[in-house]
Structure 1
Amino acid sequence: MRWPRQLTSLLFVLALLAGPPIVLLSVVGAPIQGWPTAAQAREWVQNPLTEQSLTAALTIAAWLVWLLLAYTVTIRVLTRLSATVSWLRRMPLPTPWQATAGGIAGAAVFGVSSHAITAPPPPPTQPVAAGTLDDAGNLTPPDDDVLADAGISVTGGWLPRDVAEQVSAAAALVWLRRRRSYRPRPPGRPSREDTDLAPLPPTVAAVQAALADPTPPPSEPGAALTDSSPLDRPTIGAAFPRAGVGLTGPGAQDAARGLLVTSLLAGRHHPAVSVIVTRPVLAGLLGPTAETLGRRLPGLAVIDNVGQAAGFFSGNHPGRGLGGRDQAHRNTQEGTDAPGPTLIVDAASATDNAETLVSLAIASAAVAVLGRWPAGQTWQVDPSGRTHHQDGSGSAGPRMCVLTQVTATDLLTVIAHPDPTPPEPRTSGPSRSPALAGRSPQWDAISQDHPVRSGNDKRRLQLRVLGEPTLLLDGHPVEIRRTAALQVLVFLAAHPDGADTRQLTEAIWPGLPRRSLTGRLYTTLSDLRAAIRSTAGVSIIEHSDDRYRLDPTGITVDLWHFRRVVRDATTTVAADATTWKAVIDACPADLAARRTWPWLDPIREATRRHVIDAHAALASASPDARQALAWLQAGIRIDPYNADLHTRAVTALITLGDHDAADVLRKGYTRRLAAAGIPPTDTDLTTATVMDQPAVPTR
């Protein structure tokens, strides 16, 4: 609790303010007792250093020091009061309807029986960014990049809550698509260099961390990814003017980028075009990446002039679906609610095609003009996204999503189609990304110097990170009070070569300014060390040259044991079934299962792929068709989204003559992808082609 400390500070300040005047007045008297006479002045000039003059000088100096202290305290108090008044002015007041509803609710509360059971208050409706709550659940003062106005502030922009949720869902789908498209291969070294294991951009990680729920998500990945509250309209929704809007002011470009990202996210589940933009405008919004990224964004139509936009509303544009009223009619018939497209143009194009744009806006398009728009409303946008009408009234409009060029590009990568020319495999040098540091080949040297586990290991502390993260002392769980402390333990377990302060803070608190995180990290580590020392009497976290690492001689880690088994399997001259079974047995569950820390995804997927490779190797090497099918089915339970495993399993079932089971497996896999929001691809449909193959008799 902070109030005892605050009370002590207040009493101390009051003592400093009241104590010196009381002492001076009671001991010395008033600082000035009238002006000196001419005789006293001549006497002081002749003999200035008398006891009386020195006492007066010291008294005046003491009063000046006290005045300086009083002035400082007064300024601090006035500053605090000014900040409080500003906060109160920004705090929204209830409308008359809200006040009436509140009065009725209060009357109902006071009118119920005294024996009524009261329910605990609901959690706050506004989302809280990562790090804004301490581990006791108390709200800490917000930093610069924290939640505001039911949205999330990140470095380089502000996103409404619904847009942030769409970004987080799209990021999760990126990893599901990577899991779907992975093709098992002969098991390799623990330090995988798969190009599709690269972490998502930092802005995406910051959004994911800000939305992270303290309670673990459902165990079924698809259940957490269904669109229970899809964003079906641009952020400004019904507030968007019927005849379009012009965007001016210092935040106009950032608001246009926000509108671009928002509309593409809203339309990613619909086949029709969701954003139409002229080529010069797209180049100004996205910069050097506009040409390449524009071709990879689904739902984006790039036009050379406004006249071409009409083709997307006439219903005869090839491959673009219907628009306008025809699209609305189709949506009504199919029971869907696809948003109309968003058209973004510059002021010059809008002036030359004013009538066309107005007609398109009436046909359900959201028209945004970068500049003044005489045919409709014009909003002035500030850098924070707040808008004001430029109709002379100066009234406030809705707050828009605003994104810088880099931030918008980061967010668009989660909905863009994969790059058809993937980058070359990374070299074996140390990774600059915290999420990739765990794949450093330095692990091999560390595991050779310190055997991570053996059957007669007598170390008392064990860290389990495969499954629910747990620290054990002699088999009994050790309480880790801070969630961030548990995350530090798992991060260091995944990075046995250690991590520095920057890597830890960027991974655990992404998106927040480092100046406010160093002290928080030290507090977290201090609390973690104290908890372990008080329980086990040892310290397992080493700190040298600003790098933190777990002491491998004082603790056993199941992930280290798993990586050691994988390394032994890949370096064995003749690997057999026993070798691959050891890999499977060493990984009983996902890394930090049910945790949603953004830095986990690359390492978790790399660990899962080793296990999938082992299942595929056992299936390929098995001489018995039914045993091979059993290994494939076990691999599907490890990753129910992998297309290659399903194709092999369907083929095996058809080979065994069980066409019904093959059809059930194929349809169940298609439904699982659809529930997660992943449309089937040609790769997924290969499971359907094998259905036409004749059954091969088996002995």
Structure 2
Amino acid sequence: MRWPRQLMSLLVVLALLAGPPAVLLFLIGPPVSGWPRTEQVRAWVQQPLTEETLTAALTIGAWLLWLLLAYTVTVRAVTRLQATAVWLRQVPLPTPWQATASGMAGAAVFGVTTHPVTTAAPQPPPSSAAGTPEQPADATPTPDDRAVSDDGVLLPGGWLPRDTAESVAAAAALLWLCRRRDYRPRPLIPNAPEDPDTTWLRPAAAAVQAALADAPAPPTAPTLTDSFSTLIGVLPTGGLGLTGPGTLPIGRGLLLTALLAGHRHPTPTLIVTRAALTDLLGTDAEPLGERLPQLTVAEDPGDAIRIVEGAGPQRMVILAGDNCDANDVTHLAGVTAANGGRLVVLGGRPTGQTWHAAPTGHLHDPTHPDNPAPRLCVLDQVTAVDLLTVIAHPEPATPSPAPPRTPLPPAVTPGPRLPRQSTRGTPHQPPAASHHRLHLRVLGEPTLLIDGEPLTIRRSAAVQVLAFLAAHPTGADTRELTAAIWPGLPRSSLTGRLYTTLSDLRGAIRSASGLHVIDHTDDRYRLNPAHVDVDLWHLHTAVHQAAMTVTDTMTAWRAVRDAYPADLAAGRTWPWLDPIREVTRRRVIDACAALADSENDPRRALVLLQGGVDIDPYNADLHDRLATTLTALGDHEAADQLRNRYLRTLAQAGIDDETRDHRATSGTITSRTSPSHP
């Protein structure tokens, strides 16, 4: 505890400031009792070294030393106050409660240090999927922290209602399931090119996933149709114009909410004029609009009227406010409402209702200022494009730049240790002094075993650090670790959190085993292969050897299959896991398919293919091979049951006819359309 030391320091400073003046005044009196008289000056010149003059000189010297001490303390206090003031200006203060807490912290100049303290992020006002009535609140959210509650998720790029965020996370999970379904096993070869469909998701999607990963589940699961219906219920039947600083952010939120609903349910779809789409998405409007099947782009309000009149119910129309004819807008509002949809005009309506859009997503009716203000989803342009990309068709050409995925690393062998960061107060213990065996298991539930016994790790972020470093044997720097574990949050607020997590983790391992498992050199962290054994590294070694082997390949393939007991960090939903987990899984089903192809006995091949299906129950190619093998063995009933069970598995995961149409044809499971995910 620091406060006893800080209290003692404060008491010593006060004693030094108050003690010397009190002693001098009590024993000698004031340093100056008046100006010297002429006689005193003459006497001092004739005999300067007298008892009286020496006492006066010593007294003046003592007072000068005290003044120097007082000056030093004053300068130090002013410097500390200025540093505290600078920090307080940098601390996000989105709510009065946080402002009060930070002010109290800054007032304690001598007793409290000036390091930032992580506080609970502000909770957004209550809302539903698309917007619910609540008391007006125009305070702009601070995008420096990610807040999660039952009502919404606050990101640096905006705010999403809770069920909209859940829908984004579900769409991201569905994207990876589609990638698993469409992968075709290939031979294990050295230096194989990276799979283009194992790139990371866009940063905003990863941030939403991370925000929801450890958040408590809402009381009821969100449904996309209910979300869209709630949105329709918030907006006036006769249409609505929007003005104010939140117009375009709310427009992007409407775009995402409507398209998420149409992603798996084709009825609620969206019509947007080309001008409005450009205002909302900028230069990404044209290429992205062509890849969103739930979106219909109209050239002008007249074109939108023709589309709505010939379409089904539940159509929302968004128009740009500039150059909108009043008659066309009125006609379009009536037609849209008749079909169960709503009209939204960005920039205000020439006729009808126009509401004020706040940056927080709140809508205010100026004609009824006392009415509750619903809150809608708000997004900036970059975040909107990131999230819409998750539900878009694949790009026809080269994919847009995304964070590079880490390929499956080569084999890892113990080597010379990197220089270890010095640790104060901890004596150096050479490796030979410890006889503990450390084994990190990340295939399945991440667990660190010391002599076969699991080590209790208090922080969930520390478990992520171990798994991330296991998946990156060459190590990772501070930026890579913070971006992976806390995506969507500014690095400046996370460096201290990472250091605390690493210090706690390294201390727990060192206390239990006496070993320094995590090395730190040149701001790069890595697991020391001389001190810890990692099951994933054994799999890397088996894959590397199987790719290099030209003789006895079946033994090498079996080694790959046997080294894979479960998925990487099974059951965890960390966003950085998906690309690495998918690449790892693919190399294993590559080995299973190669083993089955090399078998002359169809029954043994059947067992090997079934093992591959157990590893990835969503892969269409493995099910095709398995159904073909069953048919070749004459077990047509089992082949039909396999197909039906597989189609039910896809349907339960949300991969139904709206996503990709699978049908049984000539003993195989084929698709009629291309995958609907990037």
User: Any conservation in 2 of the 1:377–1:390 contact (CA below 8 Å)?
Assistant: no
Supply the AA of the counterpart residue of 2:377.
Answer: C
Whole-angstrom CA distance in 1 between matches of 2:375 and 2:37? 71
Q: In the alignment, which of 554, 574, 580 is matched to residue 577 of structure 1?
A: 554
- Indicate conservation of the 8 Å contact 1:246/1:370, yes or no: yes
Residue 279 of structure 1 and its aligned partner are, at CA, apart by 0.7
Query: Pairwise mapping of residues 322-333 of structure 1 onto structure 2 (< 5 A)?
Result: 322-323=312-313
Query: Is 1:156 matched up with 2:157?
Result: yes
Alignment partners' CA distance in 2, 1:28 and 1:449 = 69
Query: What's the offset of the Cα at 1:208?
Result: 0.6
Aligned to 1:307: 302
| Whole-angstrom distance in 2 between the partners of 1:50 and 1:583 | 89
> Per-residue deviation at 1:59?
7.4
Q: Which residue of 2 aligns with 1:341?
A: 316
1:564 equivalenced with 2:541 (yes/no): yes
| Equivalent in the alignment of 1:260 | 255
| 1:272 has 2:267 as partner | yes
TM-score, length-scaled by structure 1: 0.74
After TM superposition, give the deviation of residue 191 of structure 1 in Å.
Answer: 6.5
Q: Which moved more, 1:297-306 or 1:653-662?
A: 653-662
CA distance in 2, matches of 1:611, 1:578: 14
Partner of 1:233: 227
User: d(CA) in 2 for partners of 1:62 and 1:594?
Assistant: 62
Q: Tell me how far 1:575 sits from its aligned partner.
A: 4.5
Cα displacement (A) at 1:584? 0.6
SS of alignment partner, residue 581 of structure 1: helix
Q: Which residue of 2 aligns with 1:330?
A: none
Q: Does 1:488 align with 2:465?
A: yes
Say whether the 8 Å CA contact 2:304–2:332 is kept in structure 1: no
Deviations 1:107-149 (A, max 9, x none): xxxxxxxxxxxxxxxxx9979xxxxxxxxxxxxxx98222177
Q: Judging changes above 3 Å, is the alpha-carbon distance between structure 1 residues 88 and 482 closer, same or farther for their aligned structure 2 residues?
A: closer
Once the two structures are TM-superposed, the CA of residue 161 in structure 1 deviates from its matched residue by: 1.5
The residue that corresponds to 1:362 in the other structure is 337
- Aligned residues of 1:641 and 1:673 also touching (Cα < 8 A): yes
| C-alpha spacing 1:679/1:342, structure 2 compared with 1 (3 Å) | farther
Deviation track 1:186-242 (CA, whole Å, cap 9, x = no partner) reads: 123486610011110111111111101379x9xxxxxx9x96544633475533222
Correspondence for 2:375:
399
Which segment is superposed worse, 244-253 or 605-614? 244-253
Q: How does 1:7-46 map to 2 (within 5 A)?
A: 15=11, 23=19, 26-27=22-23
Q: Give deviations 1:78-97, integer Å, cap 9, x for gaps.
A: x99x9799239999xxxxxx
- Paired residue type of 2:227: R
Give the match's secondary structure for 1:608.
helix
Deviations 1:140-176 (A, max 9, x none): xx98222177322222222121111111111000100
Give 1:598's aligned residue.
575
Identify the residue that residue 555 of structure 1 maps to in structure 2: 532
Describe the shift of the 1:587–1:39 C-alpha distance in structure 2 as closer, same or farther (beyond 3 A): closer
The percentage of counterpart residues that share the same residue type is 47
- Secondary structure of the corresponding residue to residue 521 of structure 1: helix
| Cα distance in 2 between the residues matched to 1:227 and 1:528 | 35
* Residues 158 and 380 in structure 2, CA contact (< 8 A), matched pair in contact too: yes
1:353 corresponds to = 328
- Alpha carbons of structure 1 residues 16 and 346: separation in structure 2 relative to 1, 3 Å: farther
Q: CA 1:213/1:231 → structure 2, altered by over 3 Å: closer, same or farther?
A: farther
Give the 3 Å change call, closer, same or farther, for CA 312–583 of structure 1 in structure 2.
same
| 2:423 alignment partner in structure 1 | none
SS in structure 2 opposite 1:348?
A: coil
2:241 matched to which residue of 1? 246
- What SS is found at the alignment partner of 2:318? strand
Partner of 1:331: none
CA, structure 1 residues 373+50, in 2 after alignment: closer, same or farther (shift >3 Å)? farther
**Structure 1 SS opposite 2:533:** strand
Instruction: Name the counterpart of 2:97.
Output: 87
| C-alpha displacement of 1:256 | 0.9
SS in 1 for 2:440: strand
The amino acid across from 2:613 in the alignment is I
Cα pair 1:386 1:398 within 8 Å, conserved: yes
Q: How many residues of Structure 1 are paired with residues of Structure 2 in the alignment?
A: 594
5 Å-filtered alignment, 1:174-189, equals 174-189=175-190
- CA drift of 1:559 comes to 0.9
| Separation of aligned partners in 2, 1:85 and 1:45 | 68
- Residue of structure 2 equivalent to 1:144: 144
Preserved contact between residue 507 and residue 599 of structure 1 (Cα < 8 Å): yes
Describe the superposition over 1:353-402 as per-residue Cα deviations: whole angstroms up to 9, x where unpaired: 23113303532222221112253433333333334333373866222222
Q: Provide TM-score, normalisation by structure 2.
A: 0.76
CA RMSD of aligned residues (A): 4.3
Q: Could you say what secondary structure the match of 1:645 adopts?
A: helix
Secondary structure of the residue aligned to 2:324 is helix
Q: 1:303 offset after TM fit, Å?
A: 0.4
Q: Contact 1:244–1:376 at 8 Å: present in 2 too?
A: yes
8 Å Cα contact 1:191-1:439 kept in structure 2: no
| Correspondence 1:506 to 2:501 | no
The answer as to whether partners of 1:246 and 1:372 remain within 8 angstroms in 2 is yes
Three-state SS of the structure 1 residue aligned to 2:570 is coil
C-alpha distance after superposition, 1:476-513 (max 9, x if no partner): 22222222112111111111111111111101111111
Compute the displacement of 1:295 (Å): 1.1
Asked if the contact 1:274/1:342 (under 8 Å) is kept, the reply is: no
> Which AA in structure 2 matches 1:323?
P
Partners of 1:236 and 1:399 within 8 A in 2: no
**CA positional deviation for 1:306:** 1.4
Other-structure match for 1:669: 646
Indicate conservation of the 8 Å contact 1:344/1:368, yes or no.
Answer: yes
CA distance in 2 between counterparts of 1:366 and 1:6 reads 61
Deviates most, 197-206 or 11-20: 11-20
- In structure 2, stretches of 5+ residues that fail to align are 45-52, 102-120, 125-141, 417-434, 671-678
Contact 1:273 1:301 in 2 (8 A): no
Q: Distance in 2 between matches of 1:586 and 1:74?
A: 59
Distance 1:125 1:54, change over 3 A: closer
Shift of 1:563: 1.1
Shift of the 355–12 alpha-carbon distance from structure 1 to 2, 3 Å rule, reads farther
Aligned equivalents of 2:333, 2:658: Cα separation in 1: 39
Q: Indicate conservation of the 8 Å contact 2:471/2:536, yes or no.
A: yes
Counterpart secondary structure, 1:246? strand
Unaligned residue ranges in structure 1 (runs of 5+) = 92-123, 128-141, 218-223, 325-339, 427-431, 451-457, 694-699
The code of the aligned residue for 1:264 comes to L
Task: Give the whole-Å Cα distance in 2 for the aligned partners of 1:144 and 1:160.
Answer: 18
Compared with structure 1, are the counterparts of its residues 85 and 366 closer, same or farther at alpha carbon in structure 2 (3 Å cutoff)? closer
Counterpart CA distance in 2 for 1:85 and 1:404 is: 22
Question: Could you tell me whether the CA contact under 8 Å between 1:248 and 1:380 is conserved in 2?
Answer: yes
Displacement after TM superposition at 1:349 (Å): 1.9
| 1:147 maps to amino acid | A
Distance change (3 Å), C-alpha of 1:532 and 1:64: closer
Aligned counterpart, 1:437: 406
Counterpart for residue 605 of structure 2: 628
Q: Which moved more, 1:162-171 or 1:388-397?
A: 388-397
8 Å CA contact 1:673–1:680 kept in 2: the answer is no
